[in-house]
Amino acid sequence: MSELASESLNTALSRARRQQQRNARESEAPTASVRTRVKVPLRFGDGYSVNAEMITFEGLVDGREHLAIALGDVAPGQLPLVRMHSECLTGDVFGSARCDCGPQLREAVERIAERGGYLLYLRQEGRGIGLYNKLDAYALQDQGLDTYAANLALGLPEDARDYTAAAQMLGTLGADRIDLLSNNPDKSAQLTERGVVVRDRVSTGVHATRYNRNYLLAKVTQTHHSIDLAALTV
């Protein structure tokens, strides 16, 4: 079997496993409930600050400690703006320039606060493969593999994220119709499969650096993220 055919087979198997996981979780997902609401003032390194309400849940299907962060006020007749942001220790906390996660988080908080809605902070480090595996994948990327091929080379899915818990959170919050702040078509597709109406998918800005250009390019060419390639001239 050729290397290209082998890679295509691995990708198909990875997607099939994800679909099996989705089907199992959809059939078993209980109704979630709010556990705690607490007011938290947020402040970012560039000086931007905003008041937020952090919401925790009970009964999420994957048992993880996901957070909903309520920001701003939704005007009458408007839909909430929602960002599903996967946890990224390296980007969100340490400012790694190898991804665009930290800048996307900062952008999303301000845009949602202006419009009114929720940022769902999901415990899905490394597209769901975990921190250690993500760093192992970084090492393979340094040898020339792209971000998806590196995951597959480790015997892991190219993207292991499942958004059933996110759909539960939105349902619990009464946000069953939303506008989604995301470049990733899989996020809106998964939410739609789980009964959340995504009226519009709104792209984030392009946060390119000389370190993450290939990472962003792979997102566009392989998983059809809505990132303007013309902006990747770093």
Catalytic positions: 159, 161
Token pair in block for residue 45 = 């390194």
Residues in contact with 37: Cβ distance below 8 Å, sequence separation at least 6, in sequence order: 53, 54, 55
User: Where do runs of H (alpha helix) occur along the chain?
Assistant: 3-28, 101-115, 131-141, 147-153, 164-172, 185-193, 213-223
What is the 8-class DSSP label of residue 74?
A: P
Coil, helix or strand at residue 1: coil
Residues in contact with 168: Cβ distance below 8 Å, sequence separation at least 6, in sequence order: 29, 31, 32, 57, 59, 60, 61
Tell the residue number behind the tokens 């997607």, with chain if given.
Answer: 15
